[in-house]
Amino acid sequence: MNKITSDPPVVEVMGNAAVAPEGWDKETLRNTGSLQNAILHSTNLSIIATDKNGVIAFFNAGAERMLGYAASEVVHKSNPGDLLDLDELMARAEALSLEYATPVKPDFEALAFRASRGIEDIYELTYICKDRSRAPAVVSITALRQEGGEKTADDKSDISGYLLIGTSNSVRTRTEVELLNAKAAAEKTSFAKSDFLLQLSHELRTSLNVILGFAELMESGVPPPPPSQKKNLEQILVSGRYLLDLTNELLDRALIESGQVTLSREPVSLAEVMEECRAMIEPQAKRRYISVTFPRFEAPCFIKADRTRVKQILMNLLLNAIKYNKPGGAVSVEYTLKPSGAIRVSVHDTGNGLTSEQLSQLFQPFNRLGQEAGTEEGAGIGLIVSKQLVEAMGGTIGATSAVGEGCMFWFELNAAAAPQLTFADSARAAAPPLPPLPTGTPLRTVLYVEDNPANLELIKQLIARRPDLRLITATNGILGTASARANQPEVILMDINMPGMNGIEALRILRADPSTAHIPVIALSANAMPEDIEIGYESGFFNYVTKPIRVTQLMETLDAALRFSHAASGGATQK
C-alpha cells in the first residue's frame, strides 16, 4: 500500500456542506455548491463517506461503478475496510504500528489512523469488487470534522466521519493485466511444451519397444549369433536402454511441470524400499567391483511418501554413486532421524568428488558437470527430476562433496507412523470372527492390486476375518489385469499409483475386456483430494475409498460391490 503525497484541497468539506473561504460572494458560493454536487455524483470518482464509527453512510455512483455494489448493499452495513484487500490492510497496520509505536488493527482503523490525526494521505489501495475482481485505485482519506473543530491528535471528539475519494489506478491496472496475460502466455507455452514431450516420449517408447524386443530375440536366438554380431547387438541394447531411460526421465519431467504427476503420500517402509533397491543395484555394482552397504533396521521405520517415487529417487542416487565411482570403490547408504521429525537418507561414494563450483551447478537440467566427454552415459536429467519429486512430496534434497573425498547425496522426507486400520467404532473392531460357514458354501473372490507390502498385509488381515471371502493379490496393474482375467473375482480393490501401469489405466483395460467389464472395481488410494476422487468416479470406479482405511466404510463398500456383482451375474456365485 504505497503512500502518495499531495497538496491540501482548496475546498474544505465539513459534514454535508461546503464552507467558503473569507471574501467569497454568494454567486461563488452557489457555484461551489454546484461543484460539490457534481463531484459527489460523479461516475468517474468513487466517493465513500462514513459516520464517526467508520460505517458507510454515503456511497456515490462512481463507487457503485468501480466496485459493482449498489449503495443499498453497503450503506449502514459495511465499512470501507471490508471492501479492501486484506493483505494490504495488514501491511498498512504493521507499518503504522512500527511508526507510531502503538498497535493498529488491520481493519478500517488502519485507513483512518492518520486522517483522525489531521493528516490527509493519498494511497494506492486495491478494492475487492462484488464479483471478487480487483480494482486498483488511488484514494485520498480525510477526516470530516464538525465546524469549529480542532485537528488535534489527542482529541478526536469533533470527528463526524471520514471521506474517501478515489479514482482508478489505470497504470497499475494495465500493469496487472499485462502480468496476467504474460503469465497465461507462459503457462500456455509450458503446457504446449509438456504436451509435446508427452507425445514425443510415447512415440519413442513405442519404437524402442520394437527395437529392444527384436534385439533381445536375436541375442537369445538358437543358434546363438556369431561373436561379431553379438557384440553389435550388445551395443544396440546398451544404447537402446539408455534412450529408454532418457525417455522415461523426459516423461517424468513433462508430467511434473504440467502438473499431471500424481503422488500417493502414505506410510512407506524404508527398509522394504531399500531392500528392493539393493536387489536391483547389486548386479551393476558387482560388474564394476564396487561394494554397496545398506543399513540394518532395528525397528520399523516409515516415511510419508509415494513408494514408487522414493524407489526412483534412491535408485537414481545409487546409480550415480556407482557410475562416477573409482574402480573397486564403495557406496554406503545410511538413514538418520532429524530433530525436525524428518528422516534423512544419504548415499556416500568414494569417487573423485566435486568442486564448490560444480556443487553450485547441481540439480540443473542437462548439466553433467563436465562429464560429457566421459565414458558414462547420461543426460543430466535424473537429479533435477529427483529434486522435483522430493519437493513435491514435501521434502528437501542436497549434496556435500570435496575433491578427492567423494560425494554424499541426501534427501529428507517426513517420518510417518506405521500404517494402521482406523476403526469406525470400537465395538465392531472388537467383534469376534464370524463363525465357520456351512460345508459347501462357495467362497467369493476379492482381488487386491497394490504395490505396497504394508497395505497388502493390512487387507489380508482384514479379509481373514471374513470366512466367506478369499483374497488374491497382484503387485502392479499389468499383473492385476491378467489375474482378473484368469480368476474372475467378484470384486477388485485397486490402488491408483503403481509402477508401470497405474490403477486408472488398469481399469480402462478391464472395462474394455468383455470378460472383466462387469466386475466392480473399488479404488483404494491415499489420493484424497476432491479432484482425485472426482477423477476416480469419472474413470468408472464402483466406489472410491481413501486411506487410511476405515474398516466400517471399507466393508460396507465391499459388501455393496459383492451384492452388485451377485445381481449382475444373475445370482450365480463363482468359485
H/E stretch holding 196: helix 170-219
What does the alpha-carbon distance between residue 54 and residue 77 come to, in Å, rounded to a whole number?
A: 10
The CA distances from residue 54 to 99, 127, 139, 152, 522, in Å, are: 23, 17, 16, 19, 57
Cell 522430493 identifies what position? 390
Report whether 536 contacts 508 (CB < 8 A). no
Residues 6+ apart with CB under 8 A from 249: 379, 381, 382, 385
C-alpha cell at 535: 477423477
Q: Residue 424, CB half-sphere, CA atoms under 13 Å: how many?
A: 9
What does the alpha-carbon distance between residue 46 and residue 222 come to, in Å, rounded to a whole number?
A: 88
What does the alpha-carbon distance between residue 291 and residue 289 come to, in Å, rounded to a whole number?
A: 7
Report whether 406 contacts 348 (CB < 8 A). yes
Sequential pLDDT tens for the chain (575 residues): 554 444 433 334 333 333 444 544 555 545 555 656 666 677 778 889 998 888 999 999 889 988 999 999 999 988 888 898 888 888 888 989 888 888 888 888 888 888 888 787 777 888 999 998 888 888 888 888 776 545 455 567 778 888 888 888 765 555 556 566 666 666 666 566 666 665 666 566 666 766 777 777 777 777 888 888 888 888 787 777 767 766 766 666 666 766 666 677 888 999 999 998 888 888 888 888 999 999 999 888 999 998 888 988 999 899 989 988 988 899 999 999 998 889 999 999 999 888 888 888 887 765 545 554 445 554 457 788 889 889 989 999 999 988 888 999 999 999 998 876 544 444 344 445 555 656 666 789 999 999 888 788 888 888 888 888 999 999 889 999 999 999 999 999 999 888 778 899 999 999 999 999 999 999 988 776 777 788 889 999 999 988 767 777 888 899 999 999 888 776 554 44
Q: Which domains does the chain have, with CATH numbers?
A: 3-168 (3.30.450.20), 177-257 (1.10.287.130), 266-416 (3.30.565.10), 426-568 (3.40.50.2300)
Q: Would you state the pLDDT for residue 472?
A: 94
Q: What secondary structure, in 3-state letters, does 537-569 show? A: HHHCCCEEEECCCEHHHHHHHHHHHHHHHHHHC
